[in-house]
Chains A and B, each alone.
Chain A
């Protein structure tokens, strides 16, 4: 079956430094995939290329078998939504206005948001549980609330593919679980294809059925959490020794960080 999105030897460079190189990957409809890798490994750049914010200088990206260049920006914006790490807004819109921005690719130049757009925005806000905040300014919200507003905006975009960049960064554990459950439900109940870039290897192992591992701009591994999250692989890619055992609830791999003391055997059984 033709994948939803597929990259072919994709590379992107800032000036002369290649941030990602030779990336060959594909996402199939209905998948929930985690993207992990060290700082500066190119996770965000890859996400931006897939979200068509950056144009890769090498290789091509195919949507449903046709290259990106066959679609207008508006057309891809109706299919792919990207929620990136928080941006500061000097002129902060209200929550409802921020969510309605997701309708932009559907509206004509001089068209106003109509009843349908408003309905979709309310539905999206209900999904992410921010409906009660709709009149507030973005700057008045906590980071957890803001993250949920950005998710609502992405849903309002009615995408087929949702790209999430560090959706749980800066969140406490309650909100981490809240966001991950939301992501899980969007995938399971709405059939949304989702790719999450995250530093939280345990959360990715717990929620995603497939993991992509990236290092220095290249794909280092991919497969089920069990196949990718192994002591040697993680240790090599992150240059950090870890203990890998099993999450007692989900039977998925779980890592524990090992510091100097643990490596010297003080805390190991």
Chain B
């Protein structure tokens, strides 16, 4: 059973982990800055100042926000679809955003805001398409929804492949980088959009903590206990899609985080969404900062797309989960 004491101690621990990840994410990289220089804040040695506060800080914050929102989105989607394989990209926001981004690169719309804007429109259109196709008389049957999402994803993937096949050189490289997640574009300007969206979205979703517990156990049960099930479904689908649509537009497609982090948290701390939501947010942020750190350093001074790291860690974990599912209570 979840008590406030357990909630706060777990969140305290995860905040600590996030703080460590944050400092290390700033300090390490192709140029290693001593940790105490990071802790000095504004008093940092001028030689490091530009690297820390202009290059790395926005990037680390971007990574954290992306990890946070994808993980929170994953928790919500898994609960309302009662499906352990659900993640925020299931309904096609990623492929929609990717299509928008690829189009932006293809047509050379590269001024600030152009690419994310197009990507966001792509995500928005996709989610509108999927929801309107999947609903019947304004009710959403979750299996229909999942299938619709998968099919739309596949269709958009074909369009993206087509764009990739016809692109070449520098453009192809940017497209591929975006498709596997690219945090290197992170600027302070982006954060002013992302921060409020992610925090407002998370706050709205946190209010659904107990209803999500009920819905994860069955829609009829939730309805019987006074939850307006259809309204809660629409609300959470739209909030998650908008929140993750915005983050994806700035970061590119970063897979597996939204799948992996919720499962990790559920296995560690139990299935109560009042804890699961903030815990996944905090740990997702730490995980993403860590993954980005690896992406920057593994083949330094070159960089890997961060999606490579998350999938590289995510795929073995996923197989491990499938192995565990032979004993069903582990979920």
Partner-B contacts on A (CB < 8 A): 48, 51-53, 72-78, 81-82, 84, 87, 89-94, 96-98, 100-102, 104-105, 107, 109-110, 112-113, 118, 137, 139-140, 157
Query: How many B residues have CB within 8 A of the partner chain?
Result: 34
Q: Nearest Cβ in chain B — how far from A166, in angstroms? A: 14
Contacts of B329 in A (CB 8 A): 92, 137, 139-140
User: Which of B83, B214, B220, B274 has the largest count of A CB atoms less than 10 A from its CB?
Assistant: B220
Q: Contact flags (1/0) for B288-331 with A, using CB distance below 8 Å? A: 00000000000000000000000000000000000000001101
Query: Is B217 interfacial (CB-CB < 8 Å)?
Result: yes
7 shortest A-B CB distances, which residue pairs?
Answer: A77-B226, A87-B218, A74-B226, A73-B226, A105-B226, A53-B223, A137-B329
- CB of B216 within 8 A of CB of A76, answer no
Query: Is B37 interfacial (CB-CB < 8 Å)?
Result: no
Contacts of A76 in B (CB 8 A): 226
- Asked if A101 meets B226 with Cβ closer than 8 Å, knowing A53-B220, A84-B220, the reply is no
- CB of A77 within 8 A of CB of B224, answer yes
Query: Is B165 interfacial (CB-CB < 8 Å)?
Result: no
- CB of B213 within 8 A of CB of A93, answer yes
- CB of B216 within 8 A of CB of A89, answer yes
Q: Nearest Cβ in chain B — how far from A96, in angstroms? A: 5
Q: Nearest Cβ in chain B — how far from A92, in angstroms? A: 6
Q: Contact flags (1/0) for B24-47 with A, using CB distance below 8 Å? A: 000000000000000000000000
User: Which of B79, B223, B274 has the largest count of A CB atoms less than 10 A from its CB?
Assistant: B223
Q: Nearest Cβ in chain A — how far from B35, in angstroms? A: 37
Selected from A81, A89, A104, A157, the residue in CB contact (under 8 A) with B210 is A104
- CB of B217 within 8 A of CB of A104, answer no
State in angstroms the CA–CA spacing of A94 and B227 once bound together.
21
Query: Is B266 interfacial (CB-CB < 8 Å)?
Result: yes
Residue of B nearest to A102 (CB): B225
Contacts of B122 in A (CB 8 A): none
Q: Nearest Cβ in chain B — how far from A256, in angstroms? A: 35
- CB of B213 within 8 A of CB of A101, answer yes
- CB of A92 within 8 A of CB of B1, answer no
- CB of A93 within 8 A of CB of B220, answer no
Query: Is B2 interfacial (CB-CB < 8 Å)?
Result: yes
State in angstroms the CA–CA spacing of A97 and B270 once bound together.
11
State in angstroms the CA–CA spacing of A118 and B84 once bound together.
29
Query: Is B228 interfacial (CB-CB < 8 Å)?
Result: yes
- CB of A90 within 8 A of CB of B216, answer yes
Contacts of A74 in B (CB 8 A): 226
- Asked if A87 meets B220 with Cβ closer than 8 Å, knowing A73-B227, A110-B207, A113-B1, the reply is yes
Selected from A72, A91, A101, A107, the residue in CB contact (under 8 A) with B79 is A91
8 more contacts with CB within 8 A, not counting A82-B220, A89-B82, A90-B82, are A73-B226, A73-B228, A77-B226, A84-B220, A87-B218, A90-B84, A109-B207, A118-B1
- Asked if A91 meets B266 with Cβ closer than 8 Å, knowing A97-B1, A97-B272, A112-B2, the reply is yes
State in angstroms the CA–CA spacing of A2 and B274 once bound together.
41
Contacts of B82 in A (CB 8 A): 89-91
User: Which of B2, B84, B207, B329 has the largest count of A CB atoms less than 10 A from its CB?
Assistant: B329
- CB of A101 within 8 A of CB of B228, answer no
Contacts of A84 in B (CB 8 A): 220-221, 224
Q: Nearest Cβ in chain A — how far from B61, in angstroms? A: 27
